[in-house]
Amino acid sequence: MIMLEEARDLLKRVYGYDSFRQGQEDIIAAITGGSDTLAILPTGGGKSVCYQIPAMLLAGTTIVVSPLISLMKDQVDALRRVGVPAAFLNSSLGAAEYREVLRAALNGEYKLLYVAPERLDAPMFGELSERMRIPLIAIDEAHCVSQWGHDFRPSYRQLAGWITRMEDRPLVAAFTATATPEVSRDIADMLALRDPSIFINGFARENLSLSVVSGADKKRFLTRFLQERPDQSGIIYAATRKETEAVHAELLRQGIPAGKYHGGLGDEERADAQEKFRFDETRVMVATNAFGMGIDKPNVRFVLHWQMPGDLESYYQEAGRAGRDGEESECLLLFEPQDVQIQRFLIEQGAGDDGRKSVQLSKLYSMMNYARTERCLQQFIVDYFGEKGVQPCGKCANCLDKSERLDMTSEAQKALSCVGRMKGRFGVAMAAKVLKGSRDKKIIQFGLDRLSTYGLMREWPEKEVSDWLYWLVAEGYLRMSEGQYPTVSLTAEALPVLEGSKTVVRRKITTVRKAAQSGGGESSPLFEALRDWRRAAAAREGVPPFMLFFDATLRELAAARPSSMDELMSVKGIGAAKAGKYGEELLAITSGAAADLSGEPDLFSRGGGAQPPSGSARRTGDAASGGAGSHTATYDLFAAGKDVEEIAQERGLSRVTVENHLMRCADEGAELDWSRIIPEEQEPLILEAVQRLGGDKLRPLKDALPPEVDYFAIHGVLRKHGISKS
């Protein structure tokens, strides 16, 4: 109990949160209570906190095994920023850096040491581990140890041997986001966990809206989708390098800042694309599944799969990279039947023995069923991972679809009866040919033309008969066997239909199932001001903006408008270290912003269309910033030669407020030295972007311009050339 109290204190003091997410506290209690642990939490469910807090509580240095170099770096950077000593050992370090980390680890200077699995057998590390005090080994991405999983890695198989050889075996905690019951058992066995506490913390992600879109013109759909989300960051996954290149080229043609990432690019080009996406310099990343596992970017608002992946584990792991900050986000799958053939080809041409390929093909059929089902999509996924009794989510495309329902009982009975008479010896294609009444030579050879169900659906195109059979598979009336040549047979669910005691209802086919709209909320001027401060502060420090604060924290700051350090510390996501480092700058914005956003033309409302706050939160300019002529006082200092930073410091205002004052003066006819506001080389770039995109919205202009062009310069050009009016 004492440990849990200390854990809650660390959560608030270090991370800035008042309470744990669902399941986190139980996992932490098990680990700190001395139990080996297997925890299955969905992507974005907060796995890292479950081993980072025990590491801070337990004496010694916790070893974290992770296969992802970029994720190691992100987590170590994030820990150091909140005052937790941490380091990593992987191939990205030079020899001198590696030795320095080893030296510090030997001296007990770290609470967490991240290690790639390939490093564990290195003699230097073996010697180190014998001399270190290691209370806990946390194994991330633990599904990689199982040959039944979707991402088996041989290097993980050495973990159990390495752990058992340790003279004083530490606690072991394994974490993964995607594991079926079979894979979970295999993880526990392969890691030789001792009587482990097992936690399955709900696979449902309440902030994700899932959709499957079929029959759409993909390019037109993508154009409309992105136009409706001009400010959002997202990932588009394609199955092949060729498709990745094609989609990327299409986005560039549309003027959308996009990057690309696939295995055919050089290391430097991939690293550059990844960094630009992390730093919000490119809004959209088009990639194969080689991208993303090591990206802990919290503000991805959508993940769109251009083609169907090969298994539900990969799909949900990739889709789960949306909304890691808890904000409403969208996950869309653009599905076409030929996607199945592409994935079959990739499996058959890939590495692995026949047994491994058989497992992959079985997973492919489950993925195909997801793409065709009319059940709640979230419910389908959690059921696949062995979690029963979850209610429909109410927000996926299937739950929201109000299309007409058709009674298809008669058609189902025909199809099920035919499959039953074929006695599980043939696949969907052959069953479709029998129902269609095909004269294919194999039909005649096997005597299938003599079945009573032969030709019962001859009025249907054969492709539609196949689709109907696959739909019956997806809904659980039929099952497909494993292996390279799967056969189809009846399930217990088919019997009531054949007996006439159960009806089968299918949605009237529509070409596009529209996604649920993201509910992230309108952006206020203050929120935009905080985002711009974050972008500038992150650029100064050379880190991605999310390393400072998540969007959710900035949104709460904008709503709460704290005016003291105590009020600031009550905002979720602001712990002691970040409050000490950034508190004064944040308070300068939040405490002064209410006045400067209450009726004055602001630098951001034109872009987001948000209205100033109403009611008691609004204060007059006189009360907060020194009278109705506050903006003219700012102008006088600017005209006297002081720059924006100097004026902000002298007047105790935020930089955004000073820039706002100067734009108001320009609107009122005051003359400004535009050369001090608009860098000479940026003006033609801004004008060209305005000519292409118009000047009525700022965000599209900002996204289309180089990252060094700020909103102040854009506003300056609009005012200077009379394009914008207050």
Asked whether residue 615 carries a pLDDT value surpassing 50, the answer given is: no
Determine whether 600 is exposed, middle or buried from the number of CB atoms within 10 Å of its CB (0-12, 13-18, 19+).
buried
405-507 maps to CATH 3.20.20.70: no
Q: How confident is the model at residue 523 (pLDDT cuts 50, 70, 90)?
A: low
Q: How confident is the model at residue 592 (pLDDT cuts 50, 70, 90)?
A: low
**Quick one: 105 exposed, middle or buried, by C-beta within 10 A (0-12, 13-18, 19+)?**
buried
Phi, psi of 514 (to 5 degrees): -75, 140
Which DSSP category does 725 fall into?
A: -
Least Cα distance to 276 among 724, 716, 703, 711 occurs for: 703
Q: Which of 145-154, 254-263, 656-665 shows the lowest per-residue confidence on average (mean pLDDT)?
A: 145-154
* Reported confidence tier of residue 88, pLDDT bands at 50, 70, 90: very high
Does position 339 have pLDDT exceeding 90, yes or no? no
Tell the CATH topology of 525-672: DNA polymerase; domain 1 (1.10.150)
Mean pLDDT of 218-241: 88
Mean predicted confidence (pLDDT) in 217-233: 87
Mean of the per-residue pLDDT values of the chain:
82
Residues sharing a CB contact under 8 Å with residue 550, sequence separation 6 or more, in sequence order: 298, 299, 325, 573
pLDDT value, residue 724: 53
Residue 294 banded pLDDT, cuts 50, 70, 90: low
* Paired tokens of 74: 């992100």
Q: Round to whole Å and give the CA distance between 574 and 553.
A: 8
Q: How far is CA 105 from the centre of its chain?
A: 33
Q: Which residues contact 616 (CB under 8 A, 6 or more apart)?
A: none
Does 725 score more than 60 pLDDT?
Answer: no
pLDDT above 90 (res 85): yes
Least trusted range by pLDDT, from 144-158, 335-349, 433-447: 144-158
Mean pLDDT of 297-320: 89
Tell me which residue of 149, 507, 173, 198 sits closest to 316, measured CA to CA: 149
Average pLDDT, integer, range 486-501:
92
Q: Are 557 and 532 in contact (CB under 8 A)?
A: no
Q: Could you tell me which residues come within 8 angstroms of residue 101 by beta carbon, excluding any fewer than 6 positions away? A: 87, 88, 89, 93, 113
CA distances (Å), 129 to each of 124, 159, 168, 332, 419, in order? 9, 14, 10, 45, 60
User: In a 3-state reduction of DSSP, which class is residue 504?
Assistant: coil
The CATH homologous superfamily to which domain 2-200 belongs is P-loop containing nucleotide triphosphate hydrolases (3.40.50.300)
613 DSSP 8-state letter:
P
Amino acid at 133: R
Residue 556's pLDDT is 86
pLDDT of residue 292: 57
- Supply angle C-alpha 591, 717, 723, rounded to 5: 100
In DSSP terms, 284 is beta-bridged to: 234, 258
pLDDT digits (tens, 9 = 90+) for 532-554: 898 888 888 888 888 888 888 88
Q: Alpha-carbon distance 599 to 622, whole Å?
A: 12
Say how far apart CA 578 and CA 383 lie, in whole Å: 40
- pLDDT (mean) for 300-329: 89
pLDDT tens-digit series, residues 5-19: 888 889 888 888 888
Tell whether the torsion through CA atoms of 123, 125, 131 and 134 is positive or negative.
negative
Yes or no: say if 148 and 168 are a contact pair by the CB < 8 Å rule: no
CATH number belonging to the domain at 208-400, selected among 2.40.128.260, 3.10.20.70, 3.40.50.300, 3.40.50.720 = 3.40.50.300
Of 139-148, 348-357, 492-501, 593-602, which gets the smallest average pLDDT?
Answer: 593-602
**Assigned token pair, 515:** 């996604």
Question: Which of 118-122, 661-665, 696-700 tops mean pLDDT?
Answer: 661-665
Average of per-residue pLDDT across 244-273: 88
User: Any idea how long the chain is?
Assistant: 726
Strand ranges across the sheet with 62-65: 86-89, 112-115, 62-65, 136-139, 171-176, 37-40, 197-200
Domain ranges of the chain: 2-200, 208-400, 405-507, 525-672
Q: What is the pLDDT of residues 153-165, one digit of tens each?
A: 777 877 878 888 8
**Span 368-382, pLDDT tens digits:** 889 888 889 999 998
Percent of the chain with pLDDT over 90: 28
Q: What is the pLDDT of residue 120?
A: 75
pLDDT range class, residue 124, cuts 50, 70, 90:
low
Give the pLDDT band (50/70/90) at residue 519: very low
Provide the pLDDT for residue 619: 27
Element at 113 (helix H, strand E): strand 112-115
More confident residue, 384 or 482: 384
Q: What are phi and psi of 392, to 5 degrees?
A: -55, 145
Contact by Cβ (8 Å): 298, 553: no
- Among 648, 454, 636, 440, smallest CA distance to 533 is for 648
Strands 488-490 and 478-480 come out as antiparallel
Q: What whole-number distance in Å separates Cα of residue 179 and Cα of residue 221?
A: 33
pLDDT at 46 over 60: yes
**Cα atoms in the Cβ-side hemisphere of radius 13 Å centred on 385:** 29
2-200 and 208-400 share one CATH topology? yes
Of the candidate ranges 42-46, 332-336, 436-440, the one whose mean pLDDT is the lowest: 42-46
Element (H, E) at 445: helix 441-445
pTM for the whole structure: 0.62
Q: What are phi and psi of 100, to 5 degrees?
A: -65, -40
Q: What is the mean pLDDT of residues 593-619?
A: 33
Q: Given this model, what pLDDT does residue 601 score?
A: 33
Average pLDDT over residues 472-492: 84
pLDDT band for position 290 (50/70/90)? low
Of all residues in the chain, what percent carry a pLDDT higher than 70? 87
What pLDDT, on the 0 to 100 scale, is given for residue 168?
Answer: 83
**What distance in Å separates the CA atoms of residue 371 and residue 77, rounded to the nearest whole number?**
38
- DSSP-derived letter for residue 616 is G
Q: Report the pLDDT value the prediction gives residue 230, as an integer from 0 to 100.
A: 83
